[in-house]
Amino acid sequence: MAFDPIIACLQQITDYPRYERFCTDLMRFDGYLGIEPLGGVADKNRDSILLHNGGEVIFHYSVRKDWKAKLWKDAEGARKHGHACTKVVCVNPAEFTTTERDNCIAEFGNTFGLPLDLYGVERMASMLRTNAAALLRAYPQIFVPHLVEANRTAQVDVRINPTRDKRQQLAQIVAYNRGPGPVLIEAWYACWKENDSPRMSESMQCYRGRLPIRLEEKSKLDITVSFDFAWEGLERVGLADAEKRHYDATQENVKTFVRTAQLHMPPPRTKVDDAPTLEQLRAQDVFIVLQRDRSPGSKHDRLVLVFRNNGDLPLKTVGATIGWKFDTDRALAEEAHLTGPKVVESGANVNLRRITQADTSSNGSEVRFVLDDGMANLLVEVITRTSEIVAVEAAVHIAPAFKITETDNMREVVMSVAQSVLDSWD
């Protein structure tokens, strides 16, 4: 588990009087308004009280490792003093499991006949990261300022909602950055089970919206992505930032997504198999062209791939790439005297982003893709290593499992865009 400075500070408390004042303030942030601090050596087993509906809510604060034994001792003392108690709140920066928490609350109710509100270290830390964050600055004796500020990371809440485009299952991913500070969201990811085997996918591709994106503090991200996998076995969905931290949607949200998506699935296709065959694809009149243009305000040209289908058979695109292959045969020949497997550079591959609304082409319609500015620097390799590159290939991936490629005149356009990128560095 990653180091958490807030939890570390809570677990190293030695100033108990100041800790009691901190706990009282923390309870105010959780709705216990009107709480009165008591504490001291003559508190009659009450660190704070809250008068409510003719009774008392009694608060017990402790940092002891044997938190449950301390709670029982304080509760027995409060009962001995005859307080008109209607509820007990225990605050202790202890670590306990959900089962331990539930069992403790149930056992406390059976023993003392009172409801128990239990605050452990994770619940306390969660409040300090969100609505009670002001207490981190108010108690520098507990929370070392430079340690907390240097290690605090953005807190990103993620939620997913099902949506669809005809038969295509989509997911709306909404994220809110609660702070502190901005975070660079690089990709979305999903984990699922298929035929009892775990699967995982991470992607920058979005059906609507775009990644990567700098998510400012107190701002929202709203993207839509395509679930072109066995989403019925979905287990995790979330976002990944540039430092490889993951922000998950809750398990309940994921389960609700699957139930709702299944409820709104369209009826099955009337045709048994309407996917194109290899022979049909070979018979189609299609072409791929690379173009260069420059968007307003850009310092260099960008690479645009145009896929046109002049045939009657609709072809659904699921992506496009630009790739180049190195002279691996020559590299192998130079190492021919060595026995065993040979290691050579096989090439490079860059994904393009679809910019047309439709992903299907037929009867002369086009689907266009563009290389995002963030990936354009990779093209410079085509210039710097041109003598080693034997082929530049443009590829359009067709559902469900086909690829249409083109190599004629690809190198020239790629090199011209690469030169434009290189010139923009000067």
Q: Which pLDDT belongs to residue 287?
A: 92
The answer, yes or no, to whether residue 90 has pLDDT greater than 60, is yes
Higher pLDDT, 1 or 77: 77
Give the confidence band of 1 by pLDDT, cuts at 50, 70, 90. Answer: very low
Identify the pLDDT of residue 249.
Answer: 94
CATH class of 5-151: alpha beta
Query: 10 Å Cβ neighbour count for 229?
Result: 15
Stretch 27-41: mean pLDDT: 81
Q: Return the ∠ at Cα 263 (arms to 259 and 266), rounded to 5°.
A: 135
Q: Residue 126: which pLDDT band, with cuts at 50, 70 and 90?
A: confident
The whole-chain average pLDDT of the chain stands at: 87
Domains 5-151 and 156-263 equal at CATH topology level: no
Q: Provide mean pLDDT across the span 162-168.
A: 90
Q: Which residue has the higher pLDDT, 2 or 330?
A: 330
* Domains of the chain by residue range: 5-151, 156-263, 278-423
**Backbone angles phi and psi of 29, in degrees to 5:** -70, -15
Return the closest-CA partner of residue 119 out of 111, 109, 127, 130: 127
pLDDT score at 270: 56
Q: Which of the listed ranges 136-145, 213-222, 344-353 does the model predict with the highest average pLDDT?
A: 213-222
pLDDT of 41 reads 52
| Span 337-363, average pLDDT | 82
Tell me the chain's radius of gyration from C-alpha atoms.
30
Above pLDDT 70, what percent of the chain?
Answer: 91
Question: Topology of 156-263 in CATH?
Answer: Immunoglobulin-like (2.60.40)
Question: With 70 as the cut, is the pLDDT of residue 386 above it?
Answer: yes
